[in-house]
Amino acid sequence: MVLLKFVLTALPVAWFNEALLGKWCWRLLIDRGGLWYRVLVARYGVRDGRLEDGGRNGSIWWREVSRIRDRTGGGGDGWFEGCVVRRVGDGESTLF
């Protein structure tokens, strides 16, 4: 019974964590001048306009954000890119 309760209470937390990581993906996508974006650029660097994932040297938090963003791993990972659409507006924030 204890194990069952533990599993059932952990499921919503896992979904909540996925949602928070997705929020970070979104925030880093639209707020390129923000403090956290600048910190991540200084720590991990940028290649082809995207933040590097840091590989094995990346923090656990950043590796999870990158996993969701880049569709790496298995079982439902990488959902962010499939759910976000970028439209060309006035061209100020879109490079060709």
pLDDT of the residue at 87:
67
Residues in Cβ contact with 35 at an 8 Å cutoff, skipping those fewer than 6 apart: none
SS3 50: strand
User: Tens digits of per-residue pLDDT, 74-87?
Assistant: 554 567 767 776 66
pLDDT of the residue at 3:
78
User: Tens digits of per-residue pLDDT, 9-62?
Assistant: 666 667 778 888 888 888 888 888 999 999 999 999 998 888 888 888 888 888
Check if the beta carbon of residue 53 is closer than 8 Å to that of residue 63: yes
pLDDT of the residue at 35:
93
What is the residue extent of each domain of the chain?
2-83
pLDDT of the residue at 42:
93
